[in-house]
Chain A
């Protein structure tokens, strides 16, 4: 019975949505009897299919159909509004739960294809991650009252925790989703604390209970132990199958407090996200902390003091849905003729022109953790690449952009990212969305140096400088001390892997700060890491050594003095600027050796021998040799082979133009990043 009803629902729901929305809605409002609805449904569309629809279906269906055209937002006073986020460790099913919530409330038509609807970017779908937070307003009917639920989706990866904190600031509560099999993971902890510190209502949701190895009881105990939330507060669901998802919505209404905003107050709104639309300019996502705002109103930015006229506003469901007015406690978007994303700074406060209010606290600006140079493969593509970088950074204000130029690579940029994934995603978006081809240099972390040379101090205007480009690393003779950025890392893993993980961390110069068991088998460890040790491949190594069971998250932990040196790499005596790296002195030899070996493997043989060297100053500390080709000629080539042969050669000739040349050596442009990313041996 259960099974068949699900099947039927799948088949008929889209149809029903399309034809019956309004009609049923009205009937539903006037009467309380679900049976009325069912009769109608059967009568019209399902003569021979179903006699009785499950109660749940009717409920879902009716709630889906509430306001359609011309929503009057004044129907939703604050006590009918709930603003919440879903937070979770990556892959714990956050986006799937969001899909189900959207379906149940009718924001999207229920189909098999609804997979991560809020993940709009190609890169998000390909990698199965959320990069950019999205917002959706849902209409949900509970005990005859229609509620406006604003769901603010958040990114899942550790690099994007900054976005999570932003989203959280517009909410009064969160759904903390935990995988029933994997249990609490590092980001679960990090995200919990973000919500906890913001004093939000936290609803633990245990997802994937349909999995064979699901152990919701154990996870509930973990939650009780680590977060001090009673086990009975957890909701067990399967977002994939839709089990108990309706319960989640009920609990959202029950447990999450309404926003405290008052309609009567002066208009006051927090900008918690912004995107750029080439036609309309900046589209800002705002949360109203008080008052109301309508089309045609004049609003002022607290940050810049500039005044704008509101051209368009509305709610996101998740597509833009214009309305006339937004009221206190609501969440929506606003277009007000801002031409530059910096005009809608995230964390800024908007108020009515001539009715200034106290600005909301806002957020710390995103802090770039990883820097890398980006250059066009061919300098003639500089202008095109510049416009692509500009467009992309318009939508991602967390990328720090700085013009840069190098002797070897020409004009380009030094970009700052939140983490390596963020950098890869940026690079991938450049390639996919703008068809740009770039050379990326070795990522580096922002080091600091305390200068002693009076001349340099004068030049920089300060004693302590930050170095984001290894090429500008000052010589030891002019420096009293180098400092490196540190992070506090959290690792959660089954205790079988404790030994291996401790060794890995030790090799990464980490210091253990604490270690606790979160249940009988799982350990949470805290380590103080130098940031540069985890930037490139730590997460991959950790994952592979723990068969994917360990999770990792980190937070900023200031700077510490370190014995740093600059290491250069040479191919036949010619420096490879992309690879210049700052390393800890104790690790110089092993890093140099490993990098030379990897370079040897990733540069194809050429017609001459290539010496690969790592050097500190003028001293070579490691060397590898790439032997020359001895033979490379196709055995036979007669009349019938020419066409194929020419095609292959032309392709090679085209590829040649795209190679990065160092002296007369040709290097495929992804070789360097591959060299940096390879797992440890």
Chain B
């Protein structure tokens, strides 16, 4: 117990890379109850890389994401800083290979193609970025965005994710989008021409005034034009957005719980019928055209987050750490930029994840996939106790299995078709079970051997 805390402090002291503003949240530094630290997470020589472009031209009425509507953007400064931070964090993580890159935002299609090229170039200089690696760009289907697609592809982008959201022009206005359905259709076809088989469209349901029938019709329409990948999002009302206020004031009404449930269900059926296999709660792919980058998140693989407000999960190896950290970059672009210029990176918050916290993320993210968590997958994070040991005991989790919502078998742990729609209701139960098990094991170990020997550490290794 004591050992691990000291260990963490030593990490802090030794980390020269950390900018002065970085805070280490000591409250969650390996908590007193969990003593064993998972020393080297799997594939620590690999990571995915996310780049955040924080700017948008306008504010969508439903969005509470980290984005800024600037009067002007200094593209060259942004480019330099993104490159600089990429370089610093790659060195810090000491990863050997970058498995995929994702440019998200904000509206990353507002960035100059040269910026994308420069960042990719930096990655290649400091790690291996294989030719086939997936490099995705989020695209707003505006005429301006469309005209740049070719240049983006030339810069190294090989997958395009298009934020269509809706094919209904009135709805697009309500959502505050800066494109029309016509723009969307043109952008899709241009994208398919440039990256055949590697275009994804985002579409949103549960919009104000939407009915199940109109949603089904719209989806059918979309499937006629789209490529091999579809992401479905339910519109969520976020506090502080314009849409939230409009709904609160009664100016707009969003469909109720039962209707959105029906929309989700029918979309899953329609997509399945048209050959799109669901592989995650909101993602569907035809012919295996899954998003490797996003799968990485759900498989709890390492990722490096670059850019204002970007999140990362990796072991900062060169700082002497052997524990994965949850890292967040500074939110505001201007502050982020000056920090990067000063310290090479702008990591605002570092939170070492202990064994329990890491397993929690593995569980929560893993169960979002239709294939769930395989035994091999779990074993990488929990070599000593398998899924049966955690979730095969009589209790609430077993009840979920008996009710046919959750499946634990030779393959691993996953949701049933029905269960996937109820995942968020099941997760608290699963998390309680996970914590109880970890705590019980911790107690047993402490009883068997005196804590001073730190057997836990060795076991985890």
Q: Is B271 an interface residue (CB 8 A)?
A: no
Q: Is A260 an interface residue (CB 8 A)?
A: no
- Which residues on B sit within 8 Å (CB–CB) of A652? 427-428
Nearest Cβ on chain A to B205's Cβ, whole angstroms: 9
- Which size class do A's interface residues fall under? 20 to 34
Cβ 8 A contact of A630, one of B257, B294, B405, B429: B257
For B305, B365, B399, B426, the residue with the greatest tally of chain A CB atoms inside 10 Å of its CB is B365
Q: Is A49 an interface residue (CB 8 A)?
A: no
Q: With contacts A649-B428, A653-B432 known, is A643 near B233, CB below 8 A?
A: no
- Which residues on B sit within 8 Å (CB–CB) of A655? 428
- Which residues on A sit within 8 Å (CB–CB) of B364? 642, 645-646, 649
The CA of A639 and the CA of B307, in the complex, are separated in Å by 13
Contact digits for A628-642, partner B, Cβ 8 Å, 1 yes 0 no: 011111111111101
Q: Is B252 an interface residue (CB 8 A)?
A: no
Contact between B431 and A631, CB atoms less than 8 A apart? no
Nearest Cβ on chain B to A14's Cβ, whole angstroms: 42
Contact digits for B222-262, partner A, Cβ 8 Å, 1 yes 0 no: 00000000011111100000000000000000000110111
The CA of A606 and the CA of B361, in the complex, are separated in Å by 24
- Which residues on A sit within 8 Å (CB–CB) of B234? 635
Contact between B311 and A632, CB atoms less than 8 A apart? no
Contact between A633 and B50, CB atoms less than 8 A apart? no
Q: Is B456 an interface residue (CB 8 A)?
A: no
Contact digits for B305-346, partner A, Cβ 8 Å, 1 yes 0 no: 100011111000000000000101000000000000000000
Q: Is B292 an interface residue (CB 8 A)?
A: no
Q: Quick one: which of B405-461 are within 8 Å of A by CB?
A: 405, 420-429, 431-432, 435
- Which residues on A sit within 8 Å (CB–CB) of B297? 637-639, 642
- Which size class do B's interface residues fall under? 35 or more
- Which residues on A sit within 8 Å (CB–CB) of B264? 631
Nearest Cβ on chain B to A115's Cβ, whole angstroms: 34
Cβ 8 A contact of B50, one of A635, A636, A639, A649: A639
- Which residues on B sit within 8 Å (CB–CB) of A656? 428-429, 432
- Which residues on A sit within 8 Å (CB–CB) of B104? 638, 640
Q: Is A255 an interface residue (CB 8 A)?
A: no
Q: Is A607 an interface residue (CB 8 A)?
A: yes
- Which residues on B sit within 8 Å (CB–CB) of A646? 357, 360-361, 364
Contact between A635 and B236, CB atoms less than 8 A apart? yes
Cβ 8 A contact of B421, one of A608, A631, A653, A657: A631
The CA of A235 and the CA of B326, in the complex, are separated in Å by 70
The CA of A147 and the CA of B312, in the complex, are separated in Å by 75
Q: Quick one: which of B32-65 are within 8 Å of A by CB?
A: 50, 52
- Which residues on B sit within 8 Å (CB–CB) of A632? 421-425
Q: Is B2 an interface residue (CB 8 A)?
A: no
Contact between A637 and B431, CB atoms less than 8 A apart? no
Q: Is B368 an interface residue (CB 8 A)?
A: yes
Q: Is A650 an interface residue (CB 8 A)?
A: yes
The CA of A31 and the CA of B386, in the complex, are separated in Å by 94
Q: Is A664 an interface residue (CB 8 A)?
A: yes
Q: With contacts A639-B305, A640-B311 known, is A633 near B360, CB below 8 A?
A: no
Contact digits for A584-602, partner B, Cβ 8 Å, 1 yes 0 no: 0000000000000000000
Q: Is B403 an interface residue (CB 8 A)?
A: yes
- Which residues on A sit within 8 Å (CB–CB) of B220? none
The CA of A633 and the CA of B422, in the complex, are separated in Å by 6
Contact between A640 and B310, CB atoms less than 8 A apart? yes
Contact between A653 and B435, CB atoms less than 8 A apart? yes
- Which residues on A sit within 8 Å (CB–CB) of B424? 632-634, 649
Nearest Cβ on chain B to A373's Cβ, whole angstroms: 27
Cβ 8 A contact of A649, one of B262, B313, B422, B431: B431
Q: Is B265 an interface residue (CB 8 A)?
A: yes
Q: Is B396 an interface residue (CB 8 A)?
A: yes
- Which residues on B sit within 8 Å (CB–CB) of A637? 281, 297-298, 365, 368
Contact between A635 and B232, CB atoms less than 8 A apart? yes
Nearest Cβ on chain B to A433's Cβ, whole angstroms: 26
Closest to B351 in A: A643
Contact between A636 and B311, CB atoms less than 8 A apart? no
Nearest Cβ on chain A to B274's Cβ, whole angstroms: 20
For A630, A633, A655, A664, the residue with the greatest tally of chain B CB atoms inside 10 Å of its CB is A633
- Which residues on B sit within 8 Å (CB–CB) of A634? 236, 281, 424
The CA of A664 and the CA of B431, in the complex, are separated in Å by 17
For B235, B361, B422, B435, the residue with the greatest tally of chain A CB atoms inside 10 Å of its CB is B422
Cβ 8 A contact of A608, one of B262, B281, B403: B403
- Which residues on A sit within 8 Å (CB–CB) of B257? 629-631
Q: How many A-B residue pairs have CB under 8 A?
A: 109
Q: Is B103 an interface residue (CB 8 A)?
A: no
The CA of A631 and the CA of B403, in the complex, are separated in Å by 15
The CA of A629 and the CA of B261, in the complex, are separated in Å by 9
Contact between A607 and B360, CB atoms less than 8 A apart? no
Nearest Cβ on chain B to A648's Cβ, whole angstroms: 9
- Which residues on B sit within 8 Å (CB–CB) of A645? 364
Nearest Cβ on chain B to A472's Cβ, whole angstroms: 33
Contact between B233 and A635, CB atoms less than 8 A apart? yes
Q: Is B282 an interface residue (CB 8 A)?
A: yes
Contact digits for A9-39, partner B, Cβ 8 Å, 1 yes 0 no: 0000000000000000000000000000000
Q: Is B284 an interface residue (CB 8 A)?
A: no
- Which residues on B sit within 8 Å (CB–CB) of A608? 403
Q: Is B17 an interface residue (CB 8 A)?
A: no
Nearest Cβ on chain A to B333's Cβ, whole angstroms: 16
Cβ 8 A contact of B361, one of A607, A635, A642, A664: A642
The CA of A664 and the CA of B399, in the complex, are separated in Å by 9
Q: With contacts A640-B310, A643-B328, A646-B364 known, is A630 near B425, CB below 8 A?
A: no
The CA of A640 and the CA of B53, in the complex, are separated in Å by 13
Nearest Cβ on chain A to B446's Cβ, whole angstroms: 20
Nearest Cβ on chain A to B356's Cβ, whole angstroms: 11
Closest to B421 in A: A631
Contact digits for A137-157, partner B, Cβ 8 Å, 1 yes 0 no: 000000000000000000000
For B264, B294, B305, B311, the residue with the greatest tally of chain A CB atoms inside 10 Å of its CB is B311
Contact between B423 and A639, CB atoms less than 8 A apart? no
Nearest Cβ on chain A to B346's Cβ, whole angstroms: 15
Contact between B360 and A643, CB atoms less than 8 A apart? no
Closest to B233 in A: A635
The CA of A645 and the CA of B357, in the complex, are separated in Å by 13
The CA of A629 and the CA of B360, in the complex, are separated in Å by 24
Contact between B427 and A607, CB atoms less than 8 A apart? no
Q: Is B303 an interface residue (CB 8 A)?
A: yes
- Which residues on A sit within 8 Å (CB–CB) of B50? 639-640
Q: With contacts A631-B257, A642-B297 known, is A636 near B233, CB below 8 A?
A: yes
- Which residues on B sit within 8 Å (CB–CB) of A606? 425
Contact between A639 and B313, CB atoms less than 8 A apart? yes
Contact digits for B351-366, partner A, Cβ 8 Å, 1 yes 0 no: 0000001001100110
The CA of A374 and the CA of B309, in the complex, are separated in Å by 48
Contact digits for A395-423, partner B, Cβ 8 Å, 1 yes 0 no: 00000000000000000000000000000
Contact between A631 and B233, CB atoms less than 8 A apart? no
Closest to B326 in A: A643
- Which residues on A sit within 8 Å (CB–CB) of B357? 646
Instruction: Give the 10 A-B CB pairs with smallest separation, nearest first.
Output: A630-B261, A631-B261, A635-B234, A652-B428, A653-B431, A635-B233, A653-B428, A631-B421, A633-B423, A632-B425
Known: A633-B422, A636-B233, A650-B360. 17 other contacts (CB 8 A): A608-B403, A630-B261, A630-B421, A631-B260, A631-B261, A631-B264, A635-B232, A635-B236, A635-B281, A636-B281, A639-B311, A639-B312, A642-B361, A646-B360, A649-B360, A650-B431, A664-B396
Chain B interface residues toward A at CB < 8 A: 50, 52, 104, 231-236, 257-258, 260-262, 264-265, 281-282, 294, 297-298, 303, 305, 309-313, 326, 328, 357, 360-361, 364-365, 368, 396, 399-400, 403, 405, 420-429, 431-432, 435
Chain A interface residues toward B at CB < 8 A: 606-608, 629-640, 642-643, 645-646, 649-650, 652-653, 655-657, 664
A-B contacts, 9 listed (Cβ < 8 Å): A631-B421, A640-B50, A642-B365, A646-B357, A646-B360, A650-B431, A652-B428, A653-B431, A664-B396
